[in-house]
Amino acid sequence: MPRPRKSRKVCYLPETQEFRPVRENVHPSAIILSVDEYETIRLIDKEGFSQEECSNFMQIARTTVQMVYNSARKKLAEVLVNGYTLKIEGGNFKVCDGGEEHCKCAGCPKRHCKQISIQRKEDDKMRIAIPLDENKKDVCIVFARTPYFLFKDEDTETIVDNPAAEAEGGAGIQAAQFLADQGADVLITVRCGQNAADVFSAAGMKIYKSAGKTAAEDLEDFYAGRLEELTHFHGGFHGHGG
């Protein structure tokens, strides 16, 4: 019986997951760069990790890092030379939970989220976020590209634009990071993607299932204990999805 493959740890999922050449008659085929291949490129070529440091971070053997990295570089060369579309998806990986002390990735958003969570626990005030529709009253059924977010603090309500609404790709992750950066403790939403849920989990946020009513009704139900935690998350989308 073959030994199961060990998952390769990645810091976070890429915000942009598809790249296309700007020209007519683009080749119909696409080069698929796996998420773990993407991570070796990010760590070694962008963050300046050695292959040994990369292997420690991804929790795999150095020879495996070399194999994955070489495969990734070859695919990137194919894209650049022949003008193929590049898609980042799939692979054998697990996403970092942000709780490992030896993580030295300076750009790790989950470590940033963890720091925000610790700061928020020192302040007992709860902040609730709700995606709003165009009328700024109803709960938007789409989280990532909702036009607005309502922030409900103890005594105040604030409506702000969603900076990820027009994102080229990775809108779910960007919207989730925005809420974490804004110090939200709770999200009430109709639905949520797994990528965004991973960010919320790292930030220590709770997600509750909206009843699909107005934001005011959802808030009333939340305070009365009538909303259930959201536990089912849809898969991440690629390209222009969020």
Residue 158 lies in a domain: yes
Lowest mean pLDDT among 95-99, 121-125, 161-165: 121-125
Average pLDDT of the chain, as a whole number: 83
* Final residue in a domain of this structure, among 37, 61, 95: 95
For 80-84, what is the mean pLDDT? 90
Within this chain, do residues 114 and 88 fall inside the same structural domain, yes or no?
Answer: no
Taking each helix axis from N to C terminus, what angle separates 194-203 and 171-181, rounded to the nearest 10 degrees? 20
Residue 168 lies in a domain: yes
Nearest Cα to Cα of residue 206 among 185, 220, 222, 179: 185
Tokens at residue 193, please?
Answer: 């993607």
Residue 210 lies in a domain: yes
Share of the chain above pLDDT 90, in %: 43
Predicted local confidence at residue 121, as pLDDT: 43
Give how many domains the chain has, as a whole number. Answer: 2
CATH classification at residue 53: 1.10.10
Residue 237 lies in a domain: no
Predicted local confidence at residue 65, as pLDDT: 94
Residue 229 lies in a domain: no
Within this chain, do residues 161 and 85 fall inside the same structural domain, yes or no?
Answer: no
- CA separation for the pair 203, 111 (Å, rounded): 9
Within this chain, do residues 127 and 211 fall inside the same structural domain, yes or no?
Answer: yes
pLDDT band at 168 (very low <50, low <70, confident <90, very high): confident
CA torsion 100→106→109→111, rounded to 10°? 30
Q: Which domain holds residue 36?
A: 8-95
Residue 146 lies in a domain: yes
- Indicate if the pLDDT at residue 240 is higher than 90: no
Q: Where are the beta strands (DSSP E) in 153-190?
A: 157-161, 186-189
Residue 217 makes CB contacts below 8 A (sequence gap 6+) with 211
Within this chain, do residues 117 and 88 fall inside the same structural domain, yes or no?
Answer: no
Task: Please tell me whether the overall predicted TM-score, pTM, comes out greater than 0.85 for this model.
Answer: no
Residue 233 lies in a domain: no
pLDDT in tens, 23-74: 887 778 899 999 999 999 999 998 889 998 888 888 899 999 999 999 999 9
Residue 230 lies in a domain: no
For 174-202, what is the mean pLDDT? 90
Within this chain, do residues 114 and 31 fall inside the same structural domain, yes or no?
Answer: no
CATH classification at residue 168: 3.30.420.130
* Final residue in a domain of this structure, among 49, 65, 95: 95
